[in-house]
Each structure stands twice: as structure tokens, then as C-alpha cells.
Amino acid sequence: SVSYGLQEEDMATSQGVVVPRNFRLLEELEKGEKGIGDGSVSYGLQEGDDMYLSNWNGTIIGPNSTPHEGRIYSLKIHCDGSYPNKAPTVRFISKINLGCVNQSNGQVDPSKFTTLGAWKSNYTMETILLELRKEMASPANKKLPQPPEGATF
């Protein structure tokens, strides 16, 4: 097998096929740039010249019939060298009151958000954003008072 100098941690397994990390992230970038589903979530590289494809911006449009309706939430996603075998770190820039978000820094807590806590290598940044959007609409989180719109961590 030819590895083109990639280290083991730079590889991801998808249906038994080893896919280099950057190929996987380039696929995600292409999908993110085309726009996803109904437009309720989006993501892209923070800096267009990030050769390591590590730092991403995410956006979630708050779900209807929740205190988040009409709000646009900004997030930072960091994919280190072991992504997608290891979950990225995810942090809200926009202030939000959710059970899985640290209220001092906006970090999404993997122990309280199973998508990160029970990470699978076939999950994507889109998976994370869609699952966070579902969290916003969950009965427990719908009841939480929200900070003023536009407030940031």
C-alpha cells in the first residue's frame, strides 16, 4: 500500500477504505461551499489559505418555534491532525444558553453532547451543526432563557 508520506494519524477509515485526512476535509469544504440542505446550517474555512484545513467557521440558523428563531449563531470548529478519527473542538462565538455549552467560553462539552462525546469517524462538521440545531429545539433547551441577540463569548 502506498501512503504518500502520510502518517497513520492523517488517515481516516470510511467503510474500510483509508482516506487521507485532507481528502476528507476537502470533500467537506466542497459540500459546505455548495450549501447544505435547507440552509439552516453552513460552514467553511476560516482562512481560505489554511493549507492544513484546521480552522473552520460554522453557522446555525435558530429553529422556528424556539427562543432561537430568527437568530444566527456563529461557531468556530477546529479539526486537529487526528480528525476525523477524533472529534473536532467546537465553540460558540454567539452567546447561547444550551445545556451542552460552557457558559464562560462557549465551548461545546463532549460529555454533555453525544455527537462529540461518542464521536464516529463518519460524522462530519455538518453532523455536528445539525445535531446542535436539534439540541436548540429539545424540550429542556427550549425553556432556557437566552442572552440578548448579538452577545458574544
Residue 27: predicted pLDDT: 93
Residue 19: predicted pLDDT: 74
Place of cell 467557521: 57
> What are the 10-residue block averages of pLDDT along the chain, 153 residues in total?
40 59 92 84 93 95 95 97 96 98 98 97 96 96 93 96
Q: At what angle do helices 21-34 and 125-137 cross, to 10 degrees?
A: 50
The reported pTM is 0.87
SS3 of the chain: the string is CCCCCCCHHHEEEECCEEEEHHHHHHHHHHHHHHCCCCCCEEEEECCCCCCCCCEEEEEEECCCCCCCCCCEEEEEEECCCCCCCCCCEEEECECCCCCCECCCCCEECCCCCHHHHCCCCCCCHHHHHHHHHHHHHCHHHHCCCCCCCCCEC
Residue 33: predicted pLDDT: 82
